[in-house]
A and B are shown apart, each in its own frame.
Chain A
């Protein structure tokens, strides 16, 4: 009788360690890599003091961004250059340019297998790319004009928000095959998966709402109305934070009740949004006003900002 609880503890501990390993050790982040589309550049922002260190010339109107599982590489999409630009994040150096498709936009990095997943707006495909070799491993046909891309924390699935199909595609990482899809709101753009890999959230530009997807059953379990032209979503603590481009606000959704509990005024045309792993702060790139704003996720208010380059989009997970 006494051994069972101990065994339970040991198993629970193992499960915890296992989960943490699978999802990658939760790291703290110290920098934001902000893609400035109009300025053709990348601003490296120190999060501790909200200051821009380096600004790297990128070219090709950079928009999307992802970080490697270890945070050492940043992957930028340049839709006009039709390429992914690989940046050595610590050295602030461009190490490779990889030509991909006709209009690469959304991008996500796998937590462990080293690959990146790049959505192409015009070819309607998801490219599976080995960024170190610079080769495309596979091309997966998804819905029309895929935009946002996200990988589940366990690394088994990739989800794409297929904007012009009003749907999300599910891609199996093992086989690089599309294994299913689910219809969401109109014109889904950003897609974000929670830390448990249980739910995905899409920001639906056309219907001004957020679709909440149960990943296991591939069903929409809720639709939450936000404001005009929602772009992307970050998750921090008990809340989802949604950028509304046309109303210059961030809608705060209570994840338990799936209701909007606050609308936070931010800069003009907020777009890319990401939370630090601890969920203390949420960072928002404001495209029109050329600032990166910081939201305190407890106070649900902006508590700092820093000027970046012209036209920041930071579409993706841009913190490291």
Chain B
């Protein structure tokens, strides 16, 4: 019985289910957090492209160009990997900036062609921070390995956003 099962599995392995051959399509993730703090105060923390110290996963940031379009930054993560990013648009009045990843190993973040925006909205003492990402999975050809498929990419980006936004909320509300 066991032997038959092993043989059957081996045969299955030889003839994987014919996956429909196609390239990836772009995925999107949006995460938000409500914070009991005025929008300008929150923007003062997250609105500096050259400061990611509010994000628990970031150990170090080295950058150039301030908050000007085409400014760059390289994040070194506490896990050891690095992510190089470029600023595409910055609007202080709207409390919004847009950036893209210019270089990352898929082992660090399993995505390709990643672009993103970070914004703060709200009034009075309440803010909503929104973090949006558009990206392809880490494996651009057909039949991706599980760690580089669409689900893995969405999970990883969602994790980065959630960790950052939750820490931001705590930073403002802790002890309040």
How does the 8 Å CB contact mask read for A242-281 relative to B, with 1 for contact and 0 for none?
A: 0001111100000000000000000011000000000000
Whether A61 pairs with B98 at a CB distance below 8 angstroms is: no
Whether A288 pairs with B134 at a CB distance below 8 angstroms is: yes
With A245-B115, A247-B88, A268-B117 as known contacts, state yes or no: A38 contacts B25, CB within 8 Å. yes
Query: Is B79 an interface residue, CB under 8 A from the partner?
Result: no
Q: Which residues of A contact B174 (CB under 8 A)?
A: none
Nearest residue (CB) in A for B25 is: A61
Query: Is B3 an interface residue, CB under 8 A from the partner?
Result: no
Q: Which residues of B contact A37 (CB under 8 A)?
A: 25-26
Whether B134 pairs with A228 at a CB distance below 8 angstroms is: no
Whether A288 pairs with B100 at a CB distance below 8 angstroms is: no
Q: Which residues of A contact B25 (CB under 8 A)?
A: 37-38, 61, 79-80, 311
Q: Which residues of A contact B115 (CB under 8 A)?
A: 229, 245-246, 269
Whether A311 pairs with B88 at a CB distance below 8 angstroms is: no
Q: Tally A-B pairs: CB < 8 A.
A: 55
Give bound CA distance, A255 to B98, whole Å. 28
Main secondary structure of the interface of A (DSSP, over half): loop
With A229-B115, A246-B88 as known contacts, state yes or no: A288 contacts B28, CB within 8 Å. yes
Query: Is B162 an interface residue, CB under 8 A from the partner?
Result: no
CB of A97, distance to nearest CB on chain B (Å): 14
Query: Is B77 an interface residue, CB under 8 A from the partner?
Result: no
Nearest residue (CB) in A for B23 is: A103
Whether B28 pairs with A246 at a CB distance below 8 angstroms is: no
Q: Which residues of A contact B134 (CB under 8 A)?
A: 268-269, 287-288
Nearest residue (CB) in B for A122 is: B23
Q: Which residues of A contact B28 (CB under 8 A)?
A: 38, 287-288, 311
Give bound CA distance, A129 to B70, whole Å. 43
With A37-B25, A38-B25, A248-B117 as known contacts, state yes or no: A228 contacts B100, CB within 8 Å. yes
In chain B, residues 90-109, which have Cβ atoms closer than 8 Å to a Cβ of chain A? 98, 100
Give bound CA distance, A122 to B23, whole Å. 9
Q: Which residues of B contact A287 (CB under 8 A)?
A: 26, 28, 134
Query: Is A164 an interface residue, CB under 8 A from the partner?
Result: no
Give bound CA distance, A245 to B116, whole Å. 11
Whether B100 pairs with A246 at a CB distance below 8 angstroms is: yes
CB of B91, distance to nearest CB on chain A (Å): 9
Give bound CA distance, A37 to B98, whole Å. 23
Query: Is A121 an interface residue, CB under 8 A from the partner?
Result: yes
With A245-B115, A246-B88, A248-B89 as known contacts, state yes or no: A288 contacts B23, CB within 8 Å. no
Q: Which residues of A contact B21 (CB under 8 A)?
A: 82, 102
In chain A, residues 266-320, which have Cβ atoms closer than 8 Å to a Cβ of chain B? 268-269, 287-288, 311
Q: Which residues of B contact A121 (CB under 8 A)?
A: 23
Give bound CA distance, A247 to B88, whole Å. 6
Q: Which residues of B contact A249 (CB under 8 A)?
A: 89
Q: Which residues of B contact A228 (CB under 8 A)?
A: 88-89, 100
How does the 8 Å CB contact mask read for A30-59 relative to B, with 1 for contact and 0 for none?
A: 000000011000000000000000000000
Q: Which residues of A contact B117 (CB under 8 A)?
A: 248, 268
Query: Is B132 an interface residue, CB under 8 A from the partner?
Result: yes
Give bound CA distance, A228 to B28, whole Å. 18
Give bound CA distance, A269 to B115, whole Å. 9
Give bound CA distance, A249 to B89, whole Å. 10
In chain A, residues 75-120, which have Cβ atoms closer than 8 Å to a Cβ of chain B? 79-80, 82, 102-103
Residues of B near any A CB (own CB < 8 A): 20-23, 25-26, 28, 88-89, 98, 100, 115, 117, 132, 134
A-B contact pairs, 8 of them (CB 8 A): A37-B25, A79-B25, A82-B21, A229-B115, A246-B88, A246-B115, A269-B115, A287-B28
Contacts A122-B23, A245-B115, A246-B100 known; list 17 others, CB within 8 Å.
A61-B22, A80-B22, A80-B25, A82-B20, A82-B21, A82-B22, A103-B23, A228-B88, A228-B89, A246-B88, A246-B89, A269-B134, A287-B26, A288-B132, A288-B134, A311-B25, A311-B26
Minimum-distance CB pairs A-B, first 9: A80-B22, A247-B89, A228-B88, A246-B88, A246-B115, A61-B25, A247-B88, A269-B134, A103-B23
Residues of A near any B CB (own CB < 8 A): 37-38, 61, 79-80, 82, 102-103, 121-122, 227-229, 245-249, 268-269, 287-288, 311
